[in-house]
Amino acid sequence: MSFEEMWAELLPIGRDETSGGYHRFAWTPPELECRAWFRDEARRRGLAVENDANGNMFAWWFPEDGKRHDAVLTGSHLDSVPGGGAFDGPLGIVSAFAAIDLLRARGVRPERPIGIAAFAEEEGARFGVACLGSRLLSGAIDPARARALTDGGGHTLAEVMHNAGLDPAAIGPDDDLLGRVACYVELHVEQGRALEQPVGVAGSIVPHGRWRFGFAGEGNHAGTTALGDRRDPMLPFARMVIAAREAAERNGTVATVGKVAVVPGGVNAIASSVTAWLDARGPADDAVRRTVKEIDEAARVAARPHRVCVEFAEESYTEIVDFNLALRDRVDRALDGVPVLPTGAGHDAGVLSARLPTAMLFVRNPTGVSHAPAEFAEPADCLAGVEALAAVLDDLARG
């Protein structure tokens, strides 16, 4: 299967016919279909499929001497944000299979195992915590907390994993698996317009996190309740959205409220509660922390006159990631020099960098759009990405 054929197979899975956006949430039917595709592609190539306890999947090309450790891992994720693009995640996995095909066609015999990973729930679109699979694998999240995470329908991660045939009691750090991996190199579509050449390499990931605000008021009739009698949670919520923009402008960060749940959600009813999720990122930890603190304060000040209660919780936070310099230099040398750029997007490579050397290759995105249907990379740039990944894997797998 060529890159184009693999891409064409994945393309219809989980795509909304009207918007063209993807809905591939962890362990939902479209994502399970992507997982089946992954297993088929691995088996087609004689790669050994390994499922870990955390819902992550691996496809291994072992060297002829049977060596199982000191592996070079590549890959990405198959899940998407709601209404996401086709490239964020799958590009890294399709490119990895295509890179292995290229190496084999050239007669390369790796001295170290080469693995392709498909990490679970990277976007955190279902259970709220981004990079959940790599966080569990590397010990960056408490398994008990993870088991209790709930999706929008009230189903816990434990329940969903159990229904998918996994044992939720077994989730957590896997030092045996990580101990077999020497480094991880993730190829990803660029998510801005900063890359002017087909391929670049990541320098750093900015600090970023997610916070949940709960505004609890009192549901009531939209026509018969006098303004002075209302406890309308929508008002401090609205103020909080504006405060997020203002705090981001003051602190040189970005802050976004992209998800909100209104209960009960009736046109002619004052809401009883509003839950809103804040995503904040910036060049330094203190700027991000200050931004979030200012938004929280603004929400509380706005809630008081309306007798609305505010709850606030951090759902995930990732400190600045500076990618391993020695690995980045080696990648750069294997590619004869490519641009280095920082990114405002989170990745499993960032989470795993706490445990092993990681690096990222970016493929140019001419629109700069991501997490939306217009996300795009030119076919020629995708093939340049495959060539680059093959060159990097070839170099790293030589020992």
Q: How many whole angstroms separate alpha carbon 230 and alpha carbon 215?
A: 14
273 versus 370: smaller Cβ distance to Mn ion: 370
7 versus 119: smaller Cβ distance to ligand GLV: 119
- Does 130 participate in binding ligand GLV (rule CB under 6 A)? yes
- Does 79 participate in binding ligand GLV (rule CB under 6 A)? no
Sequence letter at residue 241: V
E strands within 85-146? 114-119
- Does 348 participate in binding Mn ion (rule CB under 5 A)? no
84 versus 110: smaller Cβ distance to ligand GLV: 84
CA 112 to mean position of chain CA atoms = 27
- Does 125 participate in binding ligand GLV (rule CB under 6 A)? no
Per partner kind, with CB cut-offs from 5 to 8 A, the member of Mn ion, ligand GLV, none near residue 130 is: ligand GLV
The 10 Å Cβ neighbour count of residue 220 is 17
Contacts to Mn ion from residues 89-108, by CB under 5 A: 89
Least distance from C-beta 93 to ligand GLV, angstroms?
Answer: 15
- Cα-Cα-Cα-Cα torsion 239, 244, 249, 254, nearest 10 degrees, comes to -160
- Taking CB under 6 A as the criterion, the residue among 177, 199, 243, 345 binding ligand GLV is 345
Question: In 3D, which of 107, 185, 20 has the Cα closest to residue 11?
Answer: 20
89 versus 233: smaller Cβ distance to Mn ion: 89
Task: Name the phi and psi angles at 42, rounded to 5.
Answer: -65, -50
- Does 123 participate in binding ligand GLV (rule CB under 6 A)? yes
- Does 88 participate in binding Mn ion (rule CB under 5 A)? yes
Geometric angle at alpha carbon 223, from 218 and 227, rounded to 5° = 60
Q: How many whole angstroms separate alpha carbon 197 and alpha carbon 201?
A: 11
Sequence letter at residue 371: H
- Does 236 participate in binding ligand GLV (rule CB under 6 A)? no
Least distance from C-beta 365 to ligand GLV, angstroms?
Answer: 13
Residue recorded with tokens 């592996």 = 71
The β-bridge partners of 260 are 276
- Taking CB under 6 A as the criterion, the residue among 198, 207, 233, 346 binding ligand GLV is 346
Sequence letter at residue 310: V
The β-bridge partners of 24 are none
Total residues contacting ligand GLV by CB under 6 A comes to 4
Q: How many whole angstroms separate alpha carbon 308 and alpha carbon 311?
A: 10
88 versus 151: smaller Cβ distance to Mn ion: 88
272 versus 291: smaller Cβ distance to ligand GLV: 291
* Binding region for ligand GLV (CB under 6 A): 123, 130, 345-346
* Binding region for Mn ion (CB under 5 A): 88-89
